[in-house]
């Protein structure tokens, strides 16, 4: 089973995260380290009462997070 980032769609391989479309029918969605950092940065920005630098809302960030963990 392949693990694919739900944000940038890269897939995890033995050597790292590669930007290619998963051919496998079975695929688990998660975050690659880069997108996870961006998602958590949005949440930290919210708690700091700052505008998320990406412009995304907290609700969107949390929805993406739940998708990644689910």
Tell me if 8 contacts Zn ion by CB under 5 A.
yes
**Chain centroid to CA 60:** 12
Q: Which of 1, 2, 4, 7 binds Zn ion (CB under 5 A)?
A: 7
By CB under 5 A, the residues from 18 to 37 that bind Zn ion are 32, 35
Q: Does 6 interact with Zn ion (rule: CB under 5 A)?
A: no
> SS3 string of the chain?
CEEEECCCCCEEECCEEECCCCCCCCEEEECCHHHHHHHHHHHHHHHCCCCCCCCCCHHHHHHHHHHHHC
The number of residues that bind Zn ion (CB under 5 A) is 5
Residue 61 sits in the site that holds Zn ion (CB under 5 A): no
Q: Which residues bind Zn ion (CB under 5 A)?
A: 5, 7-8, 32, 35
């Amino acid at each position: 089973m392949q693990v694919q980032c739900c944000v940038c769609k890269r897939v995890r391989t033995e050597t790292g995260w590669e930007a290619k479309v998963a051919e496998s029918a079975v695929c688990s969605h998660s975050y690659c380290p880069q997108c996870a950092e961006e998602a958590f940065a949005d949440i930290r920005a919210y708690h700091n009462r700052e505008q998320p630098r990406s412009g995304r809302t907290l609700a969107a960030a949390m929805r993406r997070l739940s998708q990644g963990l689910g």
